[in-house]
Chain A
Amino acid sequence: MSNDHHRYVADFRNAEVARKIADRLAARKLERTVRLMEVCGTHTVAIWKHGIRQLLPEGITLLSGPGCPVCVTTNADVDLAIALARRPDVTLATFGDMLKVPGSYSSLQQAKAEGAGIRIVYSPLDALRIAQDNPSTSVVFFAVGFETTAPTIAASVLEAERQELDNFYIISVHKLIPPAMKALLDSGEVRIDGFICPGHVSSIIGARAYEFIANDYGIPCVISGFEPLDVLQSIDMLVAQINERRASVEIEYSRAVRREGNKVALELLHRVFEIADADWRGMGILSRSGLKLRPEYSRYDAEQVFDIDSGPTRDHTGCSCGDVLRGAMTPSDCRLFAKTCTPEHPVGPCMVSSEGTCSSWYQYGGGTYGIR
């Protein structure tokens, strides 16, 4: 096995060390059940994929939060993207994650099958390249994602400016994580004893962004990596804080997260975007929780440049994605889960997104096998 792969991947999956951390965790006495929320969808998947729950002692419950950017994108935003894609003069470029998400009446996948110009890309730079290679079409990039992804779109907009591209646009539905965490706490709907904070969002925004949670709400935060040992260690660090009645923001993922974040990425992000209110599926409009292009970059804003009417928005009755996203319900509590709502026939985005809570439960065994 190559040395590099060992150092940065395999070593963080070592079964013996996992056992050590699990034992250490089990030795901590819990005064009451501890409810920890992993905010980030990628953590939800990592926890299921590696079977982390089996390694935890009794008394620790993990809740999934709203950190799945696909899941929190509203029907209205999906409808807008579909409407744009249907225009004959537009090619919509999107991350693969968004393809199957249902909007009010259709999905990008369906629109694609009906002939809409839709291309799946891995990077916003791929969308730029498509714009360069096809000057006669307008390329609109469906900019979904949190603070990890937004700087990459900001950099791409600046690159479009540098190249003087006049056929590149974005629809920004970018959202910010800390305001969502605050909204969850303010609603008081779910008791959260600690947060497993998203590792890669934190690579960008740093640890300071969460300090208000520890200081104002007294809730411990640990910024966690995504390998199984990272997650186990982070849970151990959270339980230690809880037992010691401490509340601070600790960085488990110190190899990739600096306290102050990535300053260059943040500078580019704020140069191109400004903070605005945003509509979150399941949580409504949260103030100052999203990103919109600044006026000086409005020429790249597809919503302003194209006159689009995506029609009335419709929500699916019976869909409980909102409740699931806030941690108020587990997927198996939902009437539709694994019955009328399955990955083949999803009703809501929580089942569609590969990181959606419902999709993870379904795929890795929570709902159908009863794995805790």
Chain B
Amino acid sequence: MAYDRVLLAHGSGGILSRDLVEKLFLRRFDNPALACMDDSAALNLGFLLPQDGGQAIGDQLAFTTDSYVVKPLFWNGGNIGRLAVCGTVNDLAMVGARPVWLTAGFIIEEGFSMSVLESVAETMRTTADEAGVSIVAGDTKVVERGSADDLFINTAGVGVIPRGVTISARNARPGDMVIVSGYIGDHGIAVLSQREGLEFGTDVVSDVAPLNALVEAILRPPESDSGPTSESVHALRDPTRGGLGTTLNEIAQQSGVGIRIYEDRVPVREGVATACEMLGYDPLYVANEGKLVAVVARCDAEQVLEVMRKQRYGENAAIIGEVTDEPRGKVVMKTAVGGTRIINMLTGEMLPRIC
């Protein structure tokens, strides 16, 4: 690349645009569909259809989109590129879908560093590989200086929901157990520590990761007759913005149930707890980008937990509570010291406080 900064011309559709797409994006996202460089990607559905009397994987597609405007762009454990792939892959995984294809749209501020853009694209490639997905279509726009904050990315994703899988935040039932896949609050604190004006050092690493392999392991039909099936898992949700507290509330409200969790069972790293105390945050509301909440039939919970702990990104999974009849739509927590409190939805933006 001859240019070290992205120019308006790189987004205007001419030769520079094509150069940018081919040399920076295409070369990294390399796959047959993308390489055609047609106006749309033509994608073969063969793998969905029944073959030789065998059953199709599924007859439902999952489809999602998200935009990523995170600041700063890079932090301990990831960058906006990794987040853009994982966020969408995980949204698909949370309905039990196997992610297959992603699109990636970039809105770049004039003057943005080319090498940083390369770095982001490179990360997207390696993350997509890890998740087993291809980026098959994309778009690039460049806007005047001041019209976008450095870089915005949008990704959309398509996946297949395997036959028999019905996972929804509406399906939690009283008696179910609530499992979280690991330590909460890592991502939010890792990002926050880089943000200007709140400088504090921390060794906390963001947890941003693709969870589709973990979900697949949880939903995989068992080798024996007993044990958890894909029907044991009633709900899955990734506690991103708003954190675990908000996600549990969403499940409680959508399912019309109560949820009770136990403070001493929720995994929180000391460093995260300390940073939260320093800033006046509650770890329950801090964002996670590589965690999931699973609501599982009581009789299968221990076994699902075991499966999770053997998987990458599930090593520190823990059962943190149960689903109850009442209070409907509310989340209650037994505190470490033996009291009780309500966990409400996060209202508005969490601001650092001194009081």
Interfacial residues of chain A within 306-358, with CB under 8 A of chain B in the complex: 342-344, 353-355
Residues of B within 8 A of A35 (CB): none
Contact B341 A50, beta carbon cutoff 8 Å: yes
What residues of chain B lie closer than 8 Å to A95, measured between beta carbons? 353-355
Centre residue among B273, B280, B352, B355 by max chain A CB count within 10 A: B355
Q: Which residues of B contact A171 (CB under 8 A)?
A: none
Q: Check B351 against A18 for contact (C-beta < 8 Å).
A: no
B198 touches A355 (CB 8 A): no
Query: Would you call B1 an interface residue if the criterion is a C-beta within 8 Å of the partner chain's C-beta atoms?
Result: no
A-B contacts counted at CB < 8 A amount to: 111
Contacting pair B198 A122 (CB below 8 A): yes
A364 with B341, Cβ < 8 A, contacts A70-B355, A354-B353 known: yes
Given A19-B338, A51-B340, CB of A344 within 8 Å of CB of B347:
yes
Contact of B46 with A by CB under 8 A: no
Structural contact, B338 and A55, CB atoms closer than 8 A:
yes
* B residues in contact with A355, CB < 8 Å: 355
Interface residues of B in 270-294 (CB under 8 A from A): 270, 273-274, 277, 279-280
User: A354 contacts B355, CB within 8 Å?
Assistant: yes
Give the distance to chain A from B38, nearest Cβ to Cβ, in Å: 43
Asked if B336 is an interface residue, CB under 8 A from chain A, the answer is yes
B window 154-205: CB within 8 A of A: 197-198
The residues in A between 1 and 54 inclusive whose CB is less than 8 angstroms from any CB of B are: 1-2, 5, 9, 13-15, 18-19, 22, 41-42, 48-54
In Å, the complex CA distance between A95 and B355 comes to 9
> Is A282 on the interface with B (CB-CB < 8 A)?
no
Residues of the A chain whose Cβ atoms lie less than 8 Å from the Cβ of B341: 48-51, 364-365, 371
A229-B337 in contact given A343-B347, A344-B348, A354-B280 (Cβ < 8 Å):
yes
Chain B interface helix/strand/loop/mixed: loop
Chain B CB within 8 A of A248 CB: no
* A120 contacts B by Cβ under 8 Å: yes
Quote the shortest CB–CB distance from A65 to chain B (angstroms): 14
Cβ of B60 within 8 Å of any chain A Cβ, yes or no, is no
Residues A99 and B351 in contact, CB atoms below 8 Å apart: yes
Alpha-carbon separation in the docked complex, A228 to B263 (Å): 14
| Least distance between A360 CB and chain B CB atoms (Å) | 10
Task: Give the shortest distance, in Å, between A118 (CB) and chain B (any CB).
Answer: 12
Docked-complex contact B335 and A41, CB < 8 angstroms = no
User: Is the C-beta of B327 less than 8 angstroms from some C-beta in chain A?
Assistant: yes
Collect the chain A residues with CB atoms within 8 Å of residue B332's CB.
Answer: 365, 369
Min CB gap B245→A, angstroms = 10
Contact A54–B353 (Cβ < 8 Å): no
Question: Using Cβ atoms and an 8 Å threshold, which residues of chain A touch B61?
Answer: none
Beta-carbon nearest neighbor of B279 in chain A? A122
**Residue of A whose beta carbon sits closest to that of B351:** A96
* A39 CB, min distance to chain B CBs, angstroms: 13
**What residues of A have a CB within 8 angstroms of the CB of B339 in the complex?**
50-55, 228
Closest to A366 in B: B342
A145 at interface, CB cutoff 8 A: yes
B348 touches A69 (CB 8 A): no
Tell me if B237 counts as interface (CB < 8 A to partner A): no
The answer on a CB contact under 8 Å between B338 and A368 is: no
Min Cβ gap B310→A in Å is 25
- Contact check, A122 vs B354: say whether CB atoms are below 8 A apart: yes
Task: Indicate if the CB atoms of B337 and A228 lie closer than 8 Å.
Answer: yes
| Interface flag for B125 (CB, 8 Å) | no
Known: A52-B339, A55-B338, A371-B342. A119 touches B351 (CB 8 A): no
User: Distance (Å) between the CB of B189 and the closest chain A CB?
Assistant: 15
- Residues of B110-143 at the interface with A, using a CB-CB cut-off of 8 Å, are none
Minimal beta-carbon separation of B339 from chain A (angstroms): 2
List of A residues within 8 angstroms of B197 by Cβ: 119-122, 126
B residues 305-355 with Cβ under 8 Å of A?
327, 330, 332, 334-342, 344, 347-348, 351-355
A149 near B: Cβ within 8 Å? yes
Partner of A50, one of B273, B335, B347: B335
Q: How far is the CA of A228 from the CA of B264 in the complex (A)?
A: 14
B348 CB, nearest partner CB in chain A, Å = 7
Residues of B within 8 A of A53 (CB): 339
Contacts of B279 in A (CB 8 A): 122
A50 in contact with B337 (CB, 8 Å): yes
Interface residues of A in 41-98 (CB under 8 A from B): 41-42, 48-55, 68-70, 95-97
Q: Which residue of A lies closest to B270 (CB)?
A: A5
Chain B nearest CB from A120 CB (Å) reads: 6
Q: Which residue of A lies closest to B334 (CB)?
A: A51
Most buried by B among A50, A119, A149: A50
A362 with B344: CB separation less than 8 A: yes
- Pairs A–B under 8 Å by Cβ, sample size 19: A5-B273, A13-B336, A15-B264, A15-B338, A22-B338, A51-B339, A53-B339, A54-B340, A68-B355, A95-B353, A122-B197, A354-B280, A354-B355, A355-B355, A362-B344, A363-B347, A364-B341, A369-B332, A371-B341
Chain B positions near chain A (C-beta within 8 angstroms): 197-198, 264, 270, 273-274, 277, 279-280, 327, 330, 332, 334-342, 344, 347-348, 351-355
Residues of A within 8 A of B (CB): 1-2, 5, 9, 13-15, 18-19, 22, 41-42, 48-55, 68-70, 95-97, 99-100, 119-122, 126, 145, 149, 228-229, 342-344, 353-355, 362-365, 368-369, 371
Further 14 A-B residue pairs, CB within 8 A, beyond A9-B277, A54-B340, A126-B197: A2-B270, A5-B273, A15-B336, A19-B338, A49-B341, A51-B334, A95-B353, A96-B280, A96-B351, A122-B354, A145-B354, A343-B347, A354-B280, A354-B353
Q: Which 10 pairs show the lowest CB-CB distances between chains A and B?
A: A51-B339, A365-B342, A96-B351, A343-B347, A228-B337, A54-B339, A18-B337, A51-B335, A51-B340, A97-B353
